[in-house]
Amino acid sequence: MNKVDLRDKMIEKLKQLSFSKKKEIERLLYTHLFALELWQTSNIIAVTISQSIEWDTTPIITQAWKEGKTVVIPKCIPKTKEMIFYTYKEGDQLQQTYFQLWEPIPEKAALVTHDQIDLIIVPGIVFDKKGYRIGFGGGYYDRYLVNYKNATVALIHTKQLLKQIPAEYYDIPVKQLITEKGIINPTSFNA
């Protein structure tokens, strides 16, 4: 199956999860994430503002603020399919300018560069055990991760994990997968 079909099929599956099942999975994902030493030692954390079928990132943002961490969120540049991350502080206003996504207002936030970020929580729809992912198809994260050397994780339901997905030369695997059942370290599969 090609990437588009895999993506569409998984979106349908995720839509079928009941509200209570979704909340139960999310609760476990957050518990595993916050228990990681990587989480505890990361000061600047990049995350998206989730929507619809995505795992709710609000509790992650709130917890990071509570622990005194800096949260940064992406702004897309549709022309070049690039992203820039800006700080997101409690009470900051966001704007919906692109694709219904809630994004930072550049004039009101501080820009953060690749090497300042300790941890990126990478969004995605389908993953494999090597950490390869299929997102919404913009290629935004693949472009960003080319120049990023620090930690990456993705939060996923085990149903989002396939044996193998078609990887292209530009695809960059996520370094750690967090499922409701525990942590998967893809590096052990990349050898």
Ligand X SMILES: Nc1nc2c(c(=O)[nH]1)N(C=O)[C@@H](CNc1ccc(C(=O)N[C@@H](CCC(=O)O)C(=O)O)cc1)CN2
Cα–Cα distance between 35 and 115 in angstroms, integer?
A: 24
Q: What are the phi and psi torsion angles at 96 (to 5°)? A: -100, 90
Question: If contact means CB under 5 to 8 A according to the sort of partner, which of ligand X, ligand ATP, none does residue 13 touch?
Answer: none
Give residues with Cβ within 8 angstroms of 113, minimum separation 6.
Answer: none
Q: Which residues on neighbouring strands pair with residue 169, listed in sequence order?
A: none
- Is 136 a binding residue for ligand ATP by CB under 6 A? The answer is yes
Q: Which residues on neighbouring strands pair with residue 48, listed in sequence order?
A: none
- Is 141 a binding residue for ligand ATP by CB under 6 A? The answer is yes
Supply the minimum distance, in Å, between the C-beta of residue 48 and ligand X: 4
Give residues with Cβ within 8 angstroms of 180, minimum separation 6.
Answer: 24, 25, 28, 29, 32, 157, 158
Supply the minimum distance, in Å, between the C-beta of residue 148 and ligand X: 14
Q: Which of 13, 22, 143, 159 binds ligand ATP (CB under 6 A)?
A: 143
Q: Which of 17, 22, 63, 135 binds ligand ATP (CB under 6 A)?
A: 135
Cβ closer to ligand X: 124 or 186?
124
Binding-site annotation, residues for substrate: 49, 54
- Please give the residue ranges that form the binding site for ligand ATP (CB under 6 A): 3, 134-143, 146, 170-171
